[in-house]
Each structure stands twice: as structure tokens, then as C-alpha cells.
């Protein structure tokens, strides 16, 4: 799709329905390699997420936190760390996401580690199936998160959610979904990827995940990547879920995450990504995961995440009039 065609389509959708935004805290690091992600929801609250979205004219309600078991800090069993606890958290997340969407609100999951995307996407997928909507997921991340217990050295489930969503993982994790797979692998669109284990390199290609790695961003730029990524989504009856792992961003500006990887999008590239997600008018639910305040500096990573999320909800540098933009 050319830039001109994209602009035309976007201008018709520049004012998405102003649903109330529902913030859902999920304070756990049950699936992570390091402790501290459980403080993520409060880091986003302290950084002013609710107020920032209100200042964009949105009605926002903070629903408090979903609850679940404490992190028992156990070693892996049969290739998984904390499998029963992770399932318990994810069932609660799934039900919270589903009921929020069902009541007409826009759910924003404040994690928590990325294993929570299993429950989050499962809840969104159920809603979409019942409404006849075609679900696509943007997976903004440094990692492909496509491990299975056979291939994961650590057994940390936050390295596995994209595989589980596509139907690969422990049966009791697949059961979090109402269908198997929870979403077809080719409806997962990964952007910013730069740390992929040897077997994952093969698995994501074999299973048909759409991966835009950092080399592609280097070669053709974020604008072209986002045009391609958005071009994969049919415009009719589509629901876009954005699963935003904050380690997507370059660690020089976002150090407060569980697993940093050099060479991520810089500030403007990340902003452009979010602005183009907004302009598509397709986004209907969001995860913000992997912020780890224990590794942060004065909460700057949560503050940056808030700025980026503002752009997903339409904050712009100028009052861009789609008609003036054509001149
Ligand atoms: Mn991730």
C-alpha cells in the first residue's frame, strides 16, 4: 500500500470511538527471570498514566489490581517455572480483559511480565470470536517470545507467550484459551525483534509469524515497516490488540525492564510506531508489560511508556487536520 493510500484510509478513521479506558493492574513477576516486574502497575500509576489519558479528553477508570499467588521463586519443573501460578494469574487476566471489552470499555493491562499476554489475548480473542471480529496482535518486543519448555533454558514463561498463543505449549496453558490456537500464528505481527534463540529463528518462520526485526527497521525505516505491518490487517471488522513489551525500546532510554537488549527503536522511531498505530483506528486493547522499577532510574522508563501510550491514544505534536495534510 502506498503512503497516499494509507493516508486516505487513515483520515476516515481519525476519530475512533471514544470508549472509556479501563486500567487493569496485574502486579506479578511470576513468569520473569528477575523479580521487580510486580511493581510495574504502580510505576505506571506514579508516572501519571491515568492523568495523561484524561488530558487527551478520555474517560479513564483505574480498576485497581487483579490478584493472584505470590512468586514462590522455585526452580523449573519439567521445563516450566511456576506453571500453576502462571495459569492462575492468566485466568484472572483473561476474565478481566473479556469482561472489560464486553462492557464497552477499552482495557489497558498494566503488567507485570509478558507471560500475562496469554490470558490477555485469550480474553480479547473470546470477545472477538463472539462479535465476529478478526483479531490481530502487534507484538512490540525485543524478543520473539516463541520458546517452548524443550527449548527454553530457564523455563521462564515470559519467553513463551507467543508460542502458547499460537498453540504450542503445555496443555494446561493452551486451556487458558477458549480455542486452540488462541490466535493463528500469522495473525501475530512482531516488530522490533532483535534477540531470537536458535530454535526460535526456525519456529517463528515455520509457523508463519509475521516478524519485522530490527534489521528491517534499519533498512527501510519505521514508517515503511508500520505501513507493511498495518497493511497485513484487513480493514473490515478488525480488532488490533497491542502487546507492548517495554524492552521493545532501546535500553539507553528505557533501562527499567527485565531483559534489556541493545539496538532497539530510538525515541522518535518508537513514537512514530505508536502514532501510526493510533492513526489506523484499529486498536481496541493494550498490554504494557515488563517494566521493572528495580532496574529503573527515577521511574524514567514508566514515564517514557506513558508518553508512548499517549500517542497510541492520539496525542499529536500538532493539531493535524487530515484535509490540511493533503495540501
Ligand atoms: Mn516479551
For residue 138, how far is its CA from the centre of ligand 1 (angstroms)? 12
In sequence order, what are the residues at sequence separation of 6 or more whose Cβ sits closer than 8 angstroms to the Cβ of residue 319?
none
pLDDT at 153: 78
For residue 15, how far is its CA from the centre of ligand 1 (angstroms)? 30
Higher-scoring residue by pLDDT: 317, 62: 62
Residue 143: active-site member? yes
For residue 255, how far is its CA from the centre of ligand 1 (angstroms)? 15
What is the three-class DSSP state of 28? Answer: coil
Residue 296: active-site member? no
Instruction: Report whether pLDDT(2) > 90.
Output: no
Instruction: Report whether pLDDT(14) > 60.
Output: no
For residue 209, how far is its CA from the centre of ligand 1 (angstroms)? 15
Banded model confidence at residue 142, pLDDT cuts 50, 70, 90: very high
Instruction: Report whether pLDDT(326) > 80.
Output: no
Residue 218: active-site member? no
Catalytic residue among 50, 200, 269, 290: 290
Instruction: Report whether pLDDT(325) > 90.
Output: no
- Spell out the alpha helix ranges (H) of the chain: 3-11, 40-46, 49-54, 83-102, 117-131, 161-165, 171-174, 198-207, 214-231, 267-280, 300-312
> Which pLDDT tens digit goes with each residue over 167-214?
999 999 999 999 999 999 999 999 999 999 999 999 999 999 999 999
> Which pLDDT tens digit goes with each residue over 265-306?
999 999 999 999 999 999 999 999 999 999 999 999 999 999
Query: Hunting for cell 524514567 — which residue is that?
Result: 300
Residue 78: active-site member? no
Residue 8 vs residues 11, 184, 231, 279, 321: alpha-carbon distances, Å? 5, 29, 13, 11, 12
Q: What is the pTM of this model?
A: 0.93
pLDDT at 10: 45
Residue 170: active-site member? no
Region 19-42: mean pLDDT is 97
Q: Is the torsion defined by CA of 45, 146, 85, 177 positive or negative? A: positive
Degrees (nearest 5) of the Cα angle 135, 232, 247?
Answer: 75
Peptide bond connecting 269 to the previous residue in cis, omega within 30 degrees of 0: no
Higher-scoring residue by pLDDT: 14, 289: 289
Selection from 189, 284, 244, 278 nearest residue 44 by Cα: 244
Q: What is the share, in percent, of the chain residues with pLDDT greater than 70? A: 93
Banded model confidence at residue 152, pLDDT cuts 50, 70, 90: confident
pLDDT at 11: 41
> Which pLDDT tens digit goes with each residue over 71-108?
999 999 999 999 999 999 999 999 999 999 999 999 99
Residue 158: active-site member? yes
Domain coordinates in residue numbering, the chain = 3-326
For residue 246, how far is its CA from the centre of ligand 1 (angstroms)? 8
Residue 279: active-site member? no
Banded model confidence at residue 17, pLDDT cuts 50, 70, 90: low
Region 26-41: mean pLDDT is 97
Catalytic residue among 10, 85, 114, 200: 114
For residue 48, how far is its CA from the centre of ligand 1 (angstroms)? 23
For residue 280, how far is its CA from the centre of ligand 1 (angstroms)? 23
Q: What is the share, in percent, of the chain residues with pLDDT greater than 90? A: 89
For residue 78, how far is its CA from the centre of ligand 1 (angstroms)? 22
Residue 141: active-site member? yes
> Which pLDDT tens digit goes with each residue over 201-249?
999 999 999 999 999 999 999 999 999 999 999 989 999 999 999 999 9
CATH architecture of 3-326: 3-Layer(aba) Sandwich (3.40)
Region 48-66: mean pLDDT is 97
Average pLDDT value for the chain: 93
Amino acid at each position: 500500500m502506498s503512503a497516499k493510500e494509507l493516508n486516505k484510509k487513515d483520515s476516515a478513521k481519525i476519530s475512533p470511538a471514544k470508549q472509556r479506558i479501563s486500567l487493569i493492574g496485574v502486579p506479578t513477576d511470576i513468569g520473569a527471570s528477575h523479580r521487580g516486574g510486580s511493581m510495574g502497575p504502580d510505576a505506571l500509576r506514579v508516572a501519571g498514566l491515568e492523568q495523561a489519558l484524561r488530558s487527551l479528553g478520555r474517560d479513564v477508570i483505574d480498576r485497581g489490581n487483579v490478584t493472584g499467588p505470590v512468586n514462590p521463586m522455585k526452580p523449573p519443573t519439567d521445563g516450566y517455572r511456576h506453571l500453576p501460578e502462571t495459569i492462575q494469574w492468566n485466568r484472572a487476566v483473561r476474565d478481566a480483559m473479556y469482561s472489560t471489552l464486553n462492557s464497552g470499555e477499552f482495557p489497558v493491562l498494566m503488567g507485570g511480565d509478558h507471560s500475562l499476554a496469554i490470558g490477555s489475548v485469550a480474553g480479547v480473542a473470546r470477545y472477538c470470536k463472539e462479535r465476529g471480529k478478526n483479531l490481530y496482535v502487534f507484538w512490540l518486543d525485543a524478543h520473539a517470545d516463541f520458546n517452548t519448555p524443550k527449548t527454553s533454558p530457564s523455563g521462564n514463561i515470559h519467553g513463551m507467550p507467543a508460542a502458547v498463543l499460537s498453540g504450542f505449549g503445555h496443555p494446561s496453558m493452551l486451556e487458558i484459551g477458549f480455542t486452540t490456537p488462541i490466535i493463528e500464528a500469522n495473525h501475530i505481527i512482531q516488530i522490533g525483534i532483535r534477540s531470537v534463540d536458535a530454535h526460535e529463528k526456525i519456529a517463528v518462520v515455520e509457523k508463519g509469524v509475521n516478524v519485522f526485526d530490527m534489521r528491517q527497521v534499519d533498512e527501510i525505516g519505521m514508517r515503511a515497516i508500520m505501513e507493511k505491518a498495518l497493511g497485513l490487517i484487513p480493514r473490515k471488522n478488525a480488532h488490533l490488540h497491542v502487546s507492548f513489551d517495554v524492552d521493545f525500546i532501546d535500553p539507553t532510554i528505557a533501562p527499567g525492564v527485565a531483559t534489556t537488549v541493545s539496538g532497539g527503536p530510538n525515541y522518535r522511531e518508537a513514537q512514530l510506531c505508536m502514532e501510526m498505530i493510533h492513526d489506523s483506528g484499529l486498536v481496541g486493547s493494550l498490554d504494557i508489560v515488563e517494566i521493572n522499577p528495580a532496574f529503573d532510574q527515577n521511574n524514567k522508563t514508566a514515564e517514557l511508556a506513558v508518553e508512548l501510550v499517549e500517542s497510541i491514544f492520539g496525542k499529536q505534536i500538532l493539531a493535524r487536520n487530515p484535509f490540511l495534510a493533503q495540501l
